[in-house]
Chains A and B, each alone.
Chain A
Amino acid sequence: GIQVEQSPPDLILQEGANSTLRCNFSDSVNNLQWFHQNPWGQLINLFYIPSGTKQNGRLSATTVATERYSLLYISSSQTTDSGVYFCAPQAGGFKTIFGAGTRLFVKA
């Protein structure tokens, strides 16, 4: 099955800094989602982005399906951005594969 690798595994930022999270996947995908899991465990949809670029406020995402990677950009980070960011591609059918996540801590 499809393999998903997220980097970096851990990231510490000073409030106001920018960052880029990367997701590599081993096969062609039909869709890809980015999620933020907050410290209480809630999974929040950030982007549904099988290809191209999307922006939502301070966050943006780009997926280059032909090269099998996706990037999540966080600008002007805030302490509320802390948590775990998951990339979840879907190659076919109903099975979605989650990466191990990037754990982000934003210091005040």
Chain B
Amino acid sequence: DGGITQSPKYLFRKEGQNVTLSCEQNLNHDAMYWYRQDPGQGLRLIYYSQIVNDFQKGDIAEGYSVSREKKESFPLTVTSAQKNPTAFYLCASSTGLNQPQHFGDGTRLSIL
């Protein structure tokens, strides 16, 4: 089935540790996105990528990094510089500009 796969579903980070969240899509979409959701809140854009080897900062990029080496993959690294990383992270993709976004099932990140 075509879709977006995020892994792991749950992730725990120790203080000072970098962690990487995986996002893979087999929808042949050009654009991919990472969002953060805090409890009781809407989604906020961290990074987006329009095409392979290109990505742009969203509204809350500090403490995060991404890469887009393959069309189907858009991993997100939560670095130790992100002081409040506990949140629900959602990955999305779309065919392009102004097109509907489709979401993965998310990764819940917590601090040990």
Which A residues lie at the B interface, using CB under 8 A? 4, 30-31, 33, 35, 40-43, 45, 48, 86, 88, 90, 93-96, 98-101
Contact = CB atoms under 8 A, between A and B. Distances in A.
A95 B58 contact: yes
B87 to A, nearest CB: 11
Contacts of A40: 105
For chain B, what secondary structure do more than half of its interface residues adopt (helix, strand, loop), or is it mixed?
A: strand
Nearest to A29: B98
Nearest to B58: A95
B50 A94 contact: yes
Interface stretch (B11-19, B38-46, B62-70, B75-83): B38-46
Contacts of A35: 103
B42 A41 contact: no
Nearest to B37: A41
Contact of B42 (A42, A48, A86): A86
B26 interface: no
A100 B98 CA distance: 21
A100 B42 contact: yes
A38 B43 CA distance: 14
Q: Which 5 A-B pairs have the closest CB atoms?
A: A98-B42, A43-B103, A48-B100, A98-B43, A30-B98
Contacts of A42: 103, 105-106
B33 interface: yes
B56 A45 contact: no
Contacts of A99: 42
A105 to B, nearest CB: 14
A94 B56 contact: yes
